[in-house]
Each structure stands twice: as structure tokens, then as C-alpha cells.
């Protein structure tokens, strides 16, 4: 099982460097102020989901992914699922439940967020077998998760570059859970509506078993995406400048 993501994001989430001016309404906190961090990160998703050109913050909702491939080759599900020019939506309504490790000398860090409805919408191509049935098609897709609980965990250390301390990520991992997983694929089986409709019903009727098999591959794909997002923040902004004085 080797999910692969190429050209993960069309642009970095942050493109700021030393001297960047955060908007007056952009919340920053003192280090280790846990309550402030929860509110500030949530406010970023709420108030700046469309991006902030002044500091190079591109839209978080929708979050564009040019290409994402999920390859599942073991067990009852054996598929190659390619996504092209898809948008992840729903992060505007994310609530941050946990933010740990944001200290003056960080090593392990963690963010937990809950998205009421997270959808991945865009082009797809699929070929393989799902449980006992063959599946193939190419068209538009919608994969939606309700009450999507996502945890980002990473380790790293501060390193000095150009006289400033930057946080450098070493290992990154994403885990997630959801109370419901919906799938809709158009143009399955070369546009055979009866076969396509029946397959979509089958997928949604059996979503717990399908998600169980696909979860490691999806989590690995999410890891690549969010590592790029978080890594770009730390690579571009000196660690101390992420906080208020």
C-alpha cells in the first residue's frame, strides 16, 4: 500500500519571511498559552480561509490539490484511485480541540481539529476491485466525511538559518476518524447508469468495511498534504515571529 501524491499543492500555505506584516486582526499568542492557541488557530480557519495576500496565505477552504493517488493493493479492496484537480472543502468550519507542544524549545507538537463536513471534490479515475465487485470509471467524484476528527502529530527541532531560529520537521503523521463516509462517482463503467448507480449504492451501503481498508492509504495521503502545509509555515517564518511578544 503506497499512496503517492505528486504536486501536492498549487502554492505554499505561507510564503512569508523575515519582516512579514501580519494583518492587525490576525491573532498571535504568547508561547505556551494553550487557550489562546486554540482560539487563534480556530480563528485563522474561520476568518482567513480565503487567504491573506499580504503574507502569502493562500485559500485554506477550498484547499486545492492538483494530483493525489491512492493505491490499495492488499486485502478485499484492490484499487488504483487517481484524483485530479480536487478541492478539499469544509476547513472554514474547523474547530481546534487540542494544540500541544508550542513551547520555546519545541520537539513534539500536535494539533487536533474537528471538521463537521469535509469533502474532497474533483476529477477521478479508478480501476480495480472493491470487496467482491470490479470497479472502473473516470469522471467527477465526491468523497465526504461527517464529523471528521483529524490529528496532526510531528517531531522536529529548532535550527538556525540566516541568524534566525526555524522549526525543522523530522517526522509527520496524520490520523483521522469519521462518523460517516459518503462516496459518489459519476461515469462509472463507461457511463452505464444502471451499473454506476448500483455501484454507488453498494459503496455507501458498505462504507464501514471500505473505509477500514482504505484508511491507512487515505491517512498516508493526508500526511503528505498536511506535512507540506505545516512545513511551509515553519520553513518560511522564523519560529519566534509566529508568536506575539
10 located within any domain:
no
Q: At what angle do helices 193-205 and 207-236 cross, to 10 degrees?
A: 80
How many domains in the chain? Answer: 1
Helix (H) or strand (E) holding 143: strand 133-161
Which residue did the predictor score with more confidence, 73 or 202? 202
Name, of 19-33, 42-56, 97-111, 213-227, the range with top average pLDDT: 97-111
6 located within any domain:
no
What does the pLDDT read at residue 24? 73
pLDDT tens per residue across span 170-180: 999 999 999 99
81 located within any domain:
yes
Segments forming the whole domain that contains residue 215: 34-242
pLDDT tens per residue across span 216-245: 888 988 898 888 878 877 887 888 888 886
Asked whether the beta carbons of 137 and 185 are under 8 A apart, the reply is yes
**What band does 100 get if pLDDT is binned at 50, 70 and 90?**
very high
Question: Residue 206's domain is classified under what CATH number?
Answer: 3.15.10.30
The pTM of this model reads 0.84
Amino acid at each position: 500500500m503506497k499512496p503517492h501524491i505528486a504536486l501536492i499543492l498549487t502554492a505554499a500555505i505561507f510564503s512569508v519571511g523575515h519582516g512579514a506584516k501580519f494583518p492587525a486582526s490576525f491573532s498571535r499568542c504568547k508561547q505556551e498559552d494553550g487557550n489562546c492557541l486554540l482560539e487563534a488557530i480556530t480563528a485563522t480557519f474561520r476568518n482567513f480561509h480565503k487567504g491573506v495576500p499580504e503574507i502569502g496565505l493562500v485559500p485554506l477552504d477550498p484547499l486545492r490539490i492538483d494530483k493525489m493517488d491512492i493505491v490499495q493493493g492488499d486485502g478485499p479492496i484492490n484499487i488504483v484511485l487517481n484524483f485530479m484537480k480536487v478541492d478539499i472543502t469544509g476547513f472554514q468550519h474547523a474547530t481546534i480541540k487540542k494544540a500541544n507542544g508550542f513551547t520555546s524549545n519545541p520537539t513534539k507538537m500536535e494539533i487536533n481539529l474537528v471538521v463537521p463536513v469535509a469533502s474532497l471534490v474533483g476529477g477521478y479515475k479508478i480501476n480495480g476491485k472493491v470487496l467482491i465487485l470490479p470497479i472502473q470509471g473516470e469522471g467527477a467524484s465526491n468523497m465526504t466525511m461527517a464529523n471528521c476528527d483529524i490529528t496532526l502529530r510531528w517531531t522536529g527541532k529548532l535550527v538556525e538559518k540566516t541568524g534566525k531560529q526555524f522549526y525543522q520537521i523530522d517526522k509527520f503523521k496524520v490520523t483521522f476518524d469519521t462518523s460517516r463516509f459518503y462516496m459518489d462517482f459519476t461515469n462509472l463503467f463507461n457511463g452505464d447508469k444502471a451499473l454506476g448507480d448500483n455501484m454507488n449504492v453498494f459503496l455507501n451501503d458498505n462504507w464501514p468495511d471500505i473505509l477500514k481498508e482504505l484508511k491507512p492509504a487515505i491517512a498516508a495521503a493526508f500526511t503528505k498534504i498536511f506535512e507540506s502545509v505545516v512545513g511551509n509555515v515553519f520553513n518560511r517564518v522564523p519560529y519566534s515571529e509566529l508568536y506575539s511578544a
